[in-house]
Structure 1
């Protein structure tokens, strides 16, 4: 019987793609394993991941996908980023009977060497423990963020108030910069919420697992990697081996006519002259914010490529237009596209981010601080403006600016609005000041460090070999 590694991602695009890319990485270096991926059916639109899974299935027959049947969740046609964590935890919990059947089916054909789960699939630990399958966690964000998650039960025990009520109080964790209480991820802010306890339980369970795999590399987050490896973040709790095997980034992006137009336009732009603005798969703004961005870009005078999404359904302009597919110009200042057409390019909804960041014309990236986007920018050597929106992104902003020093901050008002004046100032700083130059040089060094980590003998390649050995593979 061959050894099977079973991966169990949550269905969110950033988590699922990263987990499957981990499977591809394991296979490319340790072909004695087979990879099975069990995917819960998402209660939200997941067209982008369908295309991706189909492409991987066709290209790599030794990765097998199992789709769990749908389960009944509270129906919501439009899930916001805030609601996602609770929905994902519930989805996993309800899928345990389906998961149990699927693991039994896989184990009848192969010896399951390891079960690798997402943080949001924590409830599945009950199933794998009952079946005596060694369980590992794949953490799709960085080492600094993991330090905070692992340390969180200690923070929880030491406080009686909600983090949301502590505002600017600093939270301190070994090996990481301090973070304001209000900048912690939304699910950790209110002790009374279901999702809060899910995170506390996940953190405790992670420390008892067979290992934690992290999508980062040692040079990028030296202090946090060291603190995690030494067990400093789990005071009083055991800490399993931690494997820093990153950067794991997706290789292929979908193909469309729009992509070719956008990339051929980039070919006509001067080297390192362009600012790219893109805010992830859940990053949507109201019309008021889109107009501020447009005014800031116009005043800055920089060249730009901006991915613009239609505002959420409850946006006033969206309601007034009452169209199913309004043009993006409807949400921008009148005449903006015409006035900036010689130096700006607008893309609706989606763009091939990795290909764009790797293009020679790229000079800066305004990012929502999602971890996959950060790693893609690091691998391309593109400096960032950190504009966080949800999840752990406000923490990531602190880590990028203060610890890694590969980004400059974008600051929002208390209501969450980034003004045109703020954006213009930060864009000018990144693209044309000594501060921007220092960040650019630092991120280029990290680009070289990422490549070195992934090469033979590099820290991430060595960690991957140790991981495969712990799975029961042949050391290489």
Structure 2
């Protein structure tokens, strides 16, 4: 009898995508997989919802179960940080999750694997006697910092915000400017949002083990730190399994190709700078103009995914809204489209990022440093220019530039404005200079390391086998 693993990603597409890659690994090892999805808290025609629908349709070997929706909350009267509402909703789903888990015969249910934000489900598993594991969709270095942070905060009377760019020391990672931590964690330690987030990260390491979307040689110092008894004094952390890089595949053979790929086909090898800032990344109209000037002045070919500037909608609702198509002529400098029609290609809304990064014509990647995107750049061997914006992206920037050696930073990201001259200079550096050539060589080496980690007998393959063995032993005790 095949055993069933239940995966619970909780969040939007950025959480569902990597969890789906975990599902494929379980399938390859002979398990049945069911992924539990949540409906957004109100009807949405947003790109996230459409992307999830597309994923469900294209993965027939995974079962999907949508929990019955909760009544839509009253956003207007909530009056607190939207993330607190998300956590509240996730906790309220525990009852429905329990009902679903009870519907699976206990002897068939192998385990529940929860996303970093769904750790309240640990309580459901304790009640039912079901093994529970965390899947941490970001990197080991981020996990290491977040796991050590409560100790740093414990003796503080004020928030970390007051420290500005003062570097903080954590085991296993380069010095981390206080300003680069997740914004909510820099609030006063007694602040509700700070406490709620710290509780999330604490609970991430209260499961029976943590699967991390990374590979040992990419973040070896951080992985070792998490195995060091000194990491969190007085606490024994669960095993950490580096099972990545788990990234999506490109379009399947025979599938309809996006028009941007045909444009890339006509460009010379490694000649195109690709700019893409994730499903939530937006810029002001002023910044979009600045990017356009910088790209044009760099003289390089480019492909740029452009989204409309952010709406005025406040709170959580804006994350689910479908964005209007950007009015390019109004956003760009006069004549820009005409002048760059032979050297540039603008994509509005969505581009097949994995296919673009693996295309021979792509020579550099300007990214917001979301971990999925960082791994996609690493597995494609493409050097990156870092423009982090929110969540843990500034932390990732530190690791990508100072530790992994696969990226350079665009100065100005920390004051929310990158000048045209800076973009032009860094694009030229990566595409034309000796420093850029060395960056390209390191990126190519990291790509080979990633392939070796995933191959049979590689570190990530072996880590997953070890995880399955440990889980079986736990089940027998």
Normalising by structure 2, report the TM-score: 0.90
Q: Which residue of 2 aligns with 1:196?
A: 194
- Structure 2 counterparts to residues 303-314 of structure 1, below 5 A: 303-314=301-312
Q: SS at the partner of 1:86?
A: helix
How far apart are 1:231 and its partner, in Å? 4.1
What are the Cα deviations for residues 336-390 of structure 1, in whole angstroms up to 9, with x where unaligned?
Answer: 1110111110000110000000000011000000111111111110000010011
What are the Cα deviations for residues 381-433 of structure 1, in whole angstroms up to 9, with x where unaligned?
Answer: 00000100110000000001101110001111664111111111111111111
Range with greater deviation from structure 2 (252-261 or 371-380): 252-261
Q: Which residue of 2 aligns with 1:391?
A: 391
CA distance in structure 2 between the aligned counterparts of 1:401 and 1:385, rounded to whole angstroms: 9
Q: Which residue of 1 aligns with 2:204?
A: 206
Q: Which residue of 2 aligns with 1:217?
A: 215
Q: Does 1:47 align with 2:50?
A: yes
CA distance in structure 2 between the aligned counterparts of 1:206 and 1:434, rounded to whole angstroms: 42
Q: Which residue of 2 aligns with 1:68?
A: 67
CA distance in structure 2 between the aligned counterparts of 1:162 and 1:258, rounded to whole angstroms: 51
CA distance in structure 1 between the aligned counterparts of 2:430 and 2:32, rounded to whole angstroms: 45
Change (3 A) 1:11 1:255: farther
How far apart are 1:87 and its partner, in Å? 4.2
- Structure 2 counterparts to residues 452-467 of structure 1, below 5 A: 452-467=452-467
Instruction: State whether residues 17 and 248 of structure 2, in contact with CA within 8 Å, keep that contact through their aligned partners in structure 1.
Output: yes
Q: Which residue of 2 aligns with 1:177?
A: 174
What are the Cα deviations for residues 130-171 of structure 1, in whole angstroms up to 9, with x where unaligned?
Answer: 111111100001011010111121122132211222212222
Normalising by structure 1, report the TM-score: 0.91
Query: Residue 145 of structure 1 is aligned with which of 142, 146, 168?
Result: 142
CA distance in structure 2 between the aligned counterparts of 1:85 and 1:232, rounded to whole angstroms: 31
CA distance in structure 1 between the aligned counterparts of 2:362 and 2:190, rounded to whole angstroms: 45
Instruction: State whether residues 368 and 388 of structure 2, in contact with CA within 8 Å, keep that contact through their aligned partners in structure 1.
Output: yes
Q: Which residue of 2 aligns with 1:320?
A: none
- Structure 2 counterparts to residues 8-87 of structure 1, below 5 A: 8-28=8-28, 30-31=29-30, 33-43=31-41, 45=46, 46-56=49-59, 58=60, 60=61, 63-74=62-73, 85-87=83-85
- Structure 2 counterparts to residues 48-447 of structure 1, below 5 A: 48-56=51-59, 58=60, 60=61, 63-74=62-73, 85-107=83-105, 111-190=108-187, 191-252=189-250, 259-314=257-312, 325-412=325-412, 415-447=415-447
Instruction: State whether residues 151 and 233 of structure 1, in contact with CA within 8 Å, keep that contact through their aligned partners in structure 2.
Output: yes
CA distance in structure 2 between the aligned counterparts of 1:222 and 1:366, rounded to whole angstroms: 25
Instruction: State whether residues 363 and 382 of structure 1, in contact with CA within 8 Å, keep that contact through their aligned partners in structure 2.
Output: yes
Change (3 A) 1:449 1:348: same
CA distance in structure 1 between the aligned counterparts of 2:252 and 2:452, rounded to whole angstroms: 28
CA distance in structure 1 between the aligned counterparts of 2:66 and 2:473, rounded to whole angstroms: 27
| Structure 2 portions without partners, runs of 5+ | 314-322
Range with greater deviation from structure 2 (185-194 or 18-27): 185-194
Q: SS at the partner of 1:347?
A: strand
CA RMSD in angstroms comes to 2.4
How far apart are 1:255 and its partner, in Å? 11
